[in-house]
Amino acid sequence: MSVAEERWTFGEQPLDQTRELAIVLRDLMGVAVGLEAESADLATAIAELRALQARLGASGPADARPRVGADATADRRVYLDHSRDIGEYNAAFPRYTITVADDRAEGTVEFPVVYEGPPGVVHGGFLAVFFDCILQHLSCDMGRAGKTRSLCVRYRRPTPILTELQFSATRTVTDEAIDFVAELRDGDTVLCTAEMSAVLGNRANLPAVSPRRR
């Protein structure tokens, strides 16, 4: 990877168990939405998960706000890095593979059942989330990033779930902004495209992120 500047990060890395949990929860939800009848096993799992939530909550932070900024107190939640690979630790976000070099990214993504909208098709809102994730990932790996100010997604064809898809993206950096273009494909068929613009950020202006408590 050819990178002119250091990779852009902001926040702590997730725990290994958090990563594993995201995979399990995403897969379990995909199975659960396909059940044909009530399940005693699922009822037991729900009760156990509620009990686990209570136990973990008792040992976790009292304040759900992130420990970011000069006024962050010790009882707030640790903030995890959202610059790249959010889906690896948060089941609400899609997972993907990506290669970045010279202001360009390419990779693959497969949307599981939990991202379905119309039958067999990805919900369009998740496609917008996906594009925002990979384009910020591209910028952060290239060392210059910023806040999204506009994102336009054009839906060309229905995007299938449970299918390995390909994407590519490029960016152009000016004095004040970063502009992106990207597309998602199924083989040679373009499914949707995106154009995004972000305000060029300055690392020196980022607030302090409190590290994980040891």
**Model confidence pLDDT, tens digit, residues 8-50:** 999 999 999 999 999 999 999 999 999 999 999 999 999 999 9
Residue 3 lies in a domain: no
On whether residue 2 sits in a domain, the answer given is no
Contact 81, 12 (CB under 8 A): yes
**Is the pLDDT at 179 greater than 90, yes or no?**
yes
CATH number of the domain where residue 109 is located: 3.10.129.10
Q: Are 1 and 141 in contact (CB under 8 A)?
A: yes
Cα 63 to its chain centre, rounded Å, is: 23
CA dist list (Å): 49 to 24, 25, 40, 138: 12, 11, 14, 36
The pLDDT assigned to 175 comes to 87
- For residue 5, tell me if it sits in a domain: no
Predicted confidence band of residue 1 (pLDDT cuts 50, 70, 90)? very low
Q: Is residue 71 part of a domain?
A: yes
DSSP state of 117: -
Residue 164, both tokens: 């390995």
Q: Using CA atoms, how far apart are residues 107 and 137, in angstroms rounded to an integer?
A: 12
The answer as to whether 148 is a domain residue is: yes
Closest CA to 155 of 192, 203, 199, 117: 192
The pTM for the full model equals 0.92
| 150 occurs within a structural domain | yes
Q: What are the pLDDT digits (tens) for 100-142?
A: 999 999 999 999 999 999 999 999 999 999 999 999 999 999 9
Q: Is 96 part of any domain?
A: yes
Strand partners, 99: 106
Asked which of 58-72, 162-176, 185-199 is least confident by mean pLDDT, the reply is 58-72
pLDDT at residue number 2: 41
Per-chain mean pLDDT for the chain: 94
Whole-number pLDDT of residue 60: 87
**Mean pLDDT score, 40-69:** 95
How many domains would you assign to the chain?
Answer: 1
Domain that holds residue 30: 16-205
